[in-house]
Amino acid sequence: MSAADRRVDPWRFAGGFIQRVLSAGIPDEPAHDPIPWTAVAKPLSESKVALLSTAGLSMKGDAPFDMEMERRRPTRGDPSWRRLTSDATSATIEANHLHIDTGYIERDLNVALPVDRLRELVEAGEVGSMAEHHYSIMGFQGNDTTALVGESAPAIAQAMKSEEVDLALLAPV
């Protein structure tokens, strides 16, 4: 299979109008350094795995993501992050995000944070263990990712390192 055959059409379900509006704000060249690739250091069956959701999830009782800022500036999302417990359920999580239908998450947390699927993989021996915590950000950031890249991402990475997480799985919504 050639590289062209593996290429993903990011606009497949967006429609022409949305494609024109959104693609107008995307530069031809990335405004960031190349993303580093790190080879997996040990087999998945021996690895501790954490999840990272982009759904703006927080534990009930914790500070939610700032949706008022998102309402005032609809092209800008809250760049902070939240730590989630590994035993999180739809009943213990809040989804704070204006750019997605959070009703699906309220009915089944696994659409945004697949903890039950990860737990099944651990029980089957496919994955070594589940991390004590998972993490969430608000995926919609508009054009300014400075705080997300410069503050939240390094803090999440440090938290994962301190918990000896081997692999992180991104659960984008």
The residue extents of the domains of the chain are 38-171
pLDDT at residue 102 in the model: 87
Note whether 71 and 112 are within 8 A (CB).
no
Asked if the model's pLDDT at residue 163 lies above 90, the reply is yes
Residue 126 neighbours by CB distance under 10 Å: 11
Query: If pLDDT is split at 50, 70 and 90, which confidence band does 8 have?
Result: low
Q: What is the pTM of this model?
A: 0.80
Better-predicted residue by pLDDT, 91 or 97: 91
Cα 57 to Cα 64: distance, rounded to the nearest angstrom: 8
Is the model more confident about 82 or about 76?
A: 82
What pLDDT score was predicted for residue 2?
59
Model pLDDT, residue 153:
94
CB 131, CB 50: distance < 8 Å: yes
In the predicted model, is pLDDT for residue 4 greater than 80?
no
**E strands in 138-173:** 167-171
Average of per-residue pLDDT across 129-133: 98
User: Could you read off the pLDDT of 20-54 as tens digits, one per residue?
Assistant: 888 887 777 666 677 777 788 899 999 999 999 99
d(CA 173, CA 53): 8
Intra-chain end-to-end CA distance of the chain, in Å: 28
Residues in contact with 121: Cβ distance below 8 Å, sequence separation at least 6, in sequence order: 127
Residue 141 neighbours by CB under 8 Å, 6+ apart: 76, 77, 79, 148
CA distances from 169 to 26, 37, 125 (A): 25, 14, 17
Report which of 170, 106, 109 is spatially closest to residue 137, judged by C-alpha positions.
Answer: 170
